[in-house]
Structure 1
Amino acid sequence: MKVGLYFGSFNPIHIGHLIIANTLYDRTDLDEVWFVVSPQNPFKKQQSLVHEFDRLRMVELAIADHFHFRASDVEFRMPKPSYTIDTLTYLNEQHPQHQFVLFLGSDNLTHFKKWKNYEAILGHYELLVYPRPGEAITWEHPKVKTIDAPLLDISATFIRKSIQEGYSVKYLLPEKVEEYILDKKLYH
C-alpha cells in the first residue's frame, strides 16, 4: 500500500490541512493518507501547543468521514523533538509492506536542507510538494514531485489568536473540531 504521510502539529487541524490532504490523495496514486501528529517539532516552540492527545483527537474528529485518512500517534512514543527521518525509519520497521511518501509545503521545502539526514530522506522517499503563498518551488530532484493544489493561506496561528480574542472561526475548522475546542476551552 502507498501511504502519504502528512506531518504536522495540527494545532489545531483546519480546513486548509484537509483540502491539501484531499487534493494530494485525489491527484496521486496514494492508497491512504496518515496525519502524523507531532508532539514537538524541532523548529517550533512547544509552549503554544495544546496537549498532543487533544491535537490527535481533533485530527480524528476532522477526518472521521474520510475512509482513506488515518490519524497517527506514532511520534508520541518516540524521543522528543520529533525528527522525520527517525519516524520514517520506525514506520518502515513496523510496516515493511507499505511504501511511504512525504507531503511537504513549498515553505518547508525551502528549509529542507536543515532537516536531520535530509539526504537519506531524499534517497529513499518521494516528496509530494504543494504550493504555499510566497514560496516558489525551485527544487529539481527526481524524488521531488510538485502537485497542483489550491494556494491556501490559512494559519493555525490566526485561528488560535481569533479564538483567544473571541472571534468566530466558523468555516476555518471542521464543525466537530470547533465544538471540541469550545467544549475543552482550548486556546483561551
Structure 2
Amino acid sequence: MKIGLYFGTFNPIHVGHLIIANHMAEHSDLDEVWMMVTPHNPLKKKNTLLEDHHRLEMVYLATQNYPKIKPSDFEFKLPQPNYTVNTLVYLEEKYPQHEFALIMGEDNLKSLPKWKNYEVLLQNYTLYVYPRITSDLEKSNLIEHPNVHLIDAPIVEISATFIRNNIKIGKNIQPLIPEKVWQYIDHNLFYKK
C-alpha cells in the first residue's frame, strides 16, 4: 500500500487541510493519507500549541467520514523534537509492507534545505507538492528533482494562526473548520485567551 504522510501540528485542523488530504487520496496514486499529528515542529514556536491529545482528537473528528484519510499519533511516541527523516525510519520498521511518500506545500519545499538530512528525504521518498500562493514568486530549485511531483490540487490559503487569532477576538470562523471540530473547540474554550 502506498501511504502519503501529511505532517502538521493541526492546531487546529481546518477545511484547507481536509481539501488537500482528500485531493491527494482521490487524485493521486496514494492508497491512503495519514494525517501525522506532530507534537512539536522544530521550526515553530510551541507556546500556542494545544496539548497533543486535543489536536489528535480534532483530526480524528475531522476525518471520520473520509475512509482514505487516517489520523496518526505515531510521532507522539518518538524522541522530541520530531524530525521527518527519523520518523520515516521508525515507520518503515513498523510497517515494512507499506511504501511511504511525503505530502507538502510549495512553501515547505522551499524550506526543505533547512530540514534535518533533507537530501535523504529527496533521494529515498516521493514528495507530492501542492501549490501555495507565495509572497515571492520565486520557485524552489528542488522543483526539478525527479522525486518531486507537483500535484494540481486546489490552492487553499487558510491559516491555523488566522483561525486561532480570530477565535481569540470573538469572530465567527465556523466555515473554516469541520463542524465537529468547531464544537470540540467551542466546548473546551480553546484559543480564547
Mark yes or no: TM-score above 0.5. Answer: yes
Q: Determine the C-alpha separation between the residues in 1 that align with 2:110 and 2:123.
A: 18
Identity across aligned pairs (percent)?
Answer: 52
Matched length: 188
Match of 1:153 among 144, 152, 157: 157
Find the counterpart in structure 2 of residue 107 from structure 1.
107
Check if 1:88 corresponds to 2:88: yes
Deviation, 1:47, is 0.4
Find the counterpart in structure 1 of residue 172 from structure 2.
168
Check if 1:5 corresponds to 2:9: no
Q: Determine the C-alpha separation between the residues in 1 that align with 2:96 and 2:40.
A: 26
What amino acid maps onto 2:121 in structure 1?
Answer: I
> Which residues of structure 1 form unaligned runs of 5+?
none
Check if 1:180 corresponds to 2:180: no
Correspondence 1:127-138 to 2 at 5 A: 127-134=127-134, 137-138=139-140
Q: Determine the C-alpha separation between the residues in 1 that align with 2:2 and 2:159.
A: 28
TM-score, normalised to structure 1's length? 0.98
What amino acid maps onto 1:32 in structure 2?
Answer: E
Deviation, 1:137, is 4.1
Deviation, 1:136, is 5.2
> Which residues of structure 2 form unaligned runs of 5+?
none
Correspondence 1:60-79 to 2 at 5 A: 60-79=60-79
SS of 1:19's equivalent?
helix
1:12-31 CA distances to partner (integer Å, 9 max, x unpaired)? 00000000111111111111
Correspondence 1:26-37 to 2 at 5 A: 26-37=26-37
* Cα distance change, pair 136–100 in 1 and its aligned pair in 2 (3 A): farther
TM-score, normalised to structure 2's length? 0.95
Displacement over 3 Å in runs of 4+:
135-138
* Cα distance change, pair 82–169 in 1 and its aligned pair in 2 (3 A): same
